[in-house]
Amino acid sequence: MKKQLSTMSLLSFFFFSLISLTNAQAQEIDTRIGGMLAYGTEIENIGIGANAEFGVMEKLSISPSFIYYLPKEEGPIKMDWFEVNANANYYFLSDGKFDVYGLGGLNYSSVKVSSETLFGESYSVSDGRFGLNLGAGANMHLNNDSIMPFAELKYVIIDGGQLVLAAGVKFKI
């Protein structure tokens, strides 16, 4: 666990250093914030989330996001799940209408399972895991440059794995 935390700290330091050193050159990719809906195949439920995008180089951006999956109940068992992501997006295709990018990054997923027994006692177990994200996405350019719809498909490499399909809107700030 200590090794994972030190690795996360080192990677976080690298990302923030990269942002601060190259922000002056990052005028090609606009800074945007947005919201999204997502579907996770492991939890088999819909989530709502927020994301941001910060250009760091001509074709590279850093894109943190957060997804909270709606609570799921199956009989007496209730499951709560959220994930935090720190992705890097590399834009490899832009034709004026669409920008297509590959993404890779870090994921932290937290799951809490709770249940009540027939005698009124309640139990809960929670776990948090670090994983990796690999995927692709596309931004769509509209006539209004301040609003940008997007879609992403990523696979979270973690115990059990999860495919996440997300779509939403980013707003230029």
Instruction: Please name the residues in contact with 97: beta carbons below 8 A apart, sequence gap of 6 or more.
Output: 140, 141
Cα–Cα distance for residue pair 79/87, rounded to 1 Å: 26
Residue 22: the pLDDT is 42
Instruction: Report the first-to-last Cα separation within the chain, whole angstroms.
Output: 37
Amino acid identity of residue 159, one-letter, is D
Cα–Cα distance for residue pair 66/7, rounded to 1 Å: 20
Local mean pLDDT, 10-residue blocks, the chain (173 residues): 50 48 54 97 96 94 98 91 97 91 97 87 93 97 90 94 97 93
Residue 12: the pLDDT is 52
Model pTM score = 0.81
Cα torsion 4, 101, 16, 14 to 10°: value is: 50
